[in-house]
Every structure is written in structure tokens, then in C-alpha cells.
Structure 1
């Protein structure tokens, strides 16, 4: 094989790797001006099918739900208000979305992962502790205040906690129209059907009584 042919082959491999990295990093690129999600369609693809362009309106691209604080009288003392493709059909194929998180004093957005997106969080008010854990089991975290930002890499367990004495609020942006959110505790102790008790007992080094107690506390109300 000539050196020119080898160089061309290497270039093609590098381009393929770069393209694959892009696809893995975020939602795929859009192929048209817009594809407003038809949320009522029975068809399900990797995303949502487009509704007819003649049925598109400004309301498909508008959402006011992040303007108001959410009620934080929850078990965790926090509430998440989502602004993804399910609330804003016009986000379909655009690869972006947002959330708002409100925290009571001491409120926790418990450990969870976003399987399809990285996240950047911006504090609107208050002071929150943020952290994530790497695959090397290393904790990366700090406390951030109003006007400051912090980034959570895709797929890593992370959380936020209000460490101030007043309510706090933050907004987060994602590089996916539907990043998904999987709560660690709920996924393991409140799944349907249930994860076997023996698995949880051994994984967490606890007894059957503790497993039952945690299941009761995390069961949907």
C-alpha cells in the first residue's frame, strides 16, 4: 500500500471517528428547518415524528412554565420543572432542552443520571452544593451561588442541595431534546418489577429489614 493510500485511509478513519464522537455526544443533527413533534402519534422513532408543516404555530415553540417557582413541599424539598420536547414540541430534532429546579432550605435534588445529555446548571438565587462522581469513584463538587454555573458530564451520577437558609432556584440546559432522568435510589428500590432483595442486600451491605424499610419510603404515593 502506498503512503498516499495509507494517508487517505487514516484520514477516512479519523473522519469516521469524529463523526461517531459527534453522534454519541448529543442528539443527531436536524435535516430540515423544523420538525415539530406530533406528540399524539402512535408511531415512535428515535425522537418524535413531525406533524404537518401547515399545522405548526408559534405555540409549538413557546412554554411559560419556567417563569414561576415550583412547590417545594415534597419529600426531598425540591421540585423539577421540565422544558423538553414533551412540553415544547418545537424542540424536536434541535438537541436542546432546559429545566428549572426549586429548593426549600435544605432541599435536595437527589442523585440521578441523564443518560442522553450533559448538563450545565446556572444558579438563579440562593446557594447550592453540587457534585458528581466519576467512573473512578472520585467526587467532584463545590458550592455555587447566584450567577455561577457548574457542569455535569453525561451519564455520571450527580445531585444538588440547597445549603442556604433561604429558598434557592437554578436553571439547567441540556444538549438533548429529551435527556431523561434516572433517580439512583428510586431505580433500585422502587422499580417495577422489583429488583431482588438479595441483590440490594449484597450491593449495599444491608439486611432484608433495611431493604423493606427503604422500599416503603420510596414507594409512589
Structure 2
């Protein structure tokens, strides 16, 4: 029953998302992404399959009801369903994800550079939030969500979800892009390849260089 409610809410969210999609509006009904450029058209960063060869599996992804493994350092697992998983999403401006959280699990602070996200909690209790831009004073907007609650993370803003309940949690997210992208803040800042100069980060965070080196070490 919980899953059916989540799907109903998610379908509504996707419908709204597609109406206000950030991606460019398509000029054709469908454009199934393929890797082979032979006899193809290049649209939205993907080659398009000949519409006459399109089949149901181009618009299909199975098993989003299956719990994911959360035995990792963050205690969370994001199952993305974007144009890489469903090639038929190409040019449609929407995607979704399932997020599983272990108790105390965290989907760490990150951004989606190309999408607004709307999240619906199916199970458990999440502390979520996002931070506004420098222009608006970097204000933290937070809320504790329970099953059935919905929260929106505006495009490009840093946001997070943390399981504050005693049991596992599950949420589904709809995003206003076929390929929203993700930038995990800690990994990008402290785990870049090659690493950002220690002195640059020390000055930026106003700490000693040895602190930065310790923060970089787990990502090396």
C-alpha cells in the first residue's frame, strides 16, 4: 500500500516536472538514446534511435521496489533512473530515483546542477534540508519528514537527507531533467583528482593545512 501511494504521488510529481522541465523542450515525440551514431540524429547530448525501431524496453526499468544495500560509509544507496537507465527519457526532461537509508544513514550534502528535486518519503523518518545561495545569506531550510511527506530541493542548491529514525527509511525522488547530474560536496572538494592545493582549501575553510590533509586522506 505504501508503495502504491508513493507511485501515485511520484506520477503526479513527474507530470508537474515535465511541464516545467529545465531541459530544452523537445521538437519530436520521442528520441531514444543510442551509442551508435550510424543513421542517427544528435539531440540533447544523445544520438536518437530511428523511431521505427523503438520498442517497449526503451521506456522500461524494472525492480525499483527492491530494497538496496546500505552497508557503506554513508549508510545510504541511491538508485538513479535517468536517461542512462531508460533511453526513452531522452529529451523528455524528467528522471527519478529511489533512495534507501540505513538507521543514521546519510545522503550527504550534494547538488543537482540541472534539476529541481521533489522527494516523497515512503518509509521511516528523514531530517532533510537545503541551503540558499550567498545572495540570500546561505539560509538553511530544514524539515523532519515522515512517511507520506513531500519536500522540494530547488535546482542547484546544496541539500541532504539524514535518517533520524530507529529503522530503515525509503524515499523516491522526481527530478526535472533527464540527466540531473550530482556533485557531492565533500567528495568534490576533498577528493578531486588531482587534489586541490592544500593551501587553497586551508585559506578557504580558515583552518590549518594539516586539517585539510586529514580531510583529504579518506578520499585518496
TM-score (normalizing by structure 2): 0.84
CA deviations over 1:175-212 (Å, ceiling 9, x no partner): 10000000011111111122111111111122222222
List alignment gaps of at least 5 residues for structure 2.
1-19
Local SS of the residue matching 2:46: coil
Local SS of the residue matching 1:49: strand
User: What's the counterpart of residue 26 of structure 2?
Assistant: 30
- Matched-pair contact (CA < 8 Å) for 1:62–1:88: yes
Counterparts of 1:199 and 1:99, CA distance in 2: 35
- Matched-pair contact (CA < 8 Å) for 1:65–1:83: no
User: What's the counterpart of residue 168 of structure 1?
Assistant: 169
CA deviations over 1:45-91 (Å, ceiling 9, x no partner): 63312012233111110001422111000110001000000000000
Counterparts of 2:186 and 2:37, CA distance in 1: 33
Number of equivalenced pairs: 196
User: What's the counterpart of residue 148 of structure 2?
Assistant: 147
Counterparts of 2:122 and 2:37, CA distance in 1: 36
User: What's the counterpart of residue 16 of structure 2?
Assistant: none
Counterparts of 1:44 and 1:66, CA distance in 2: 30
TM-score (normalizing by structure 1): 0.84
How do residues 157-196 of structure 1 correspond to structure 2 at under 5 angstroms?
A: 157-196=158-197
Local SS of the residue matching 2:48: coil
Q: Which runs of 4+ in 1 moved over 6 A?
A: none
CA deviations over 1:122-161 (Å, ceiling 9, x no partner): 0010000000000121000110010110000001000000
Q: Which has the higher contact order (CA 8 A, sep 6+)?
A: 2
**C-alpha spacing 1:59/1:161, structure 2 compared with 1 (3 Å):** same
List alignment gaps of at least 5 residues for structure 1.
1-23
- Matched-pair contact (CA < 8 Å) for 1:39–1:89: no
* 1:127 and 2:112 aligned: no
Larger radius of gyration: 1
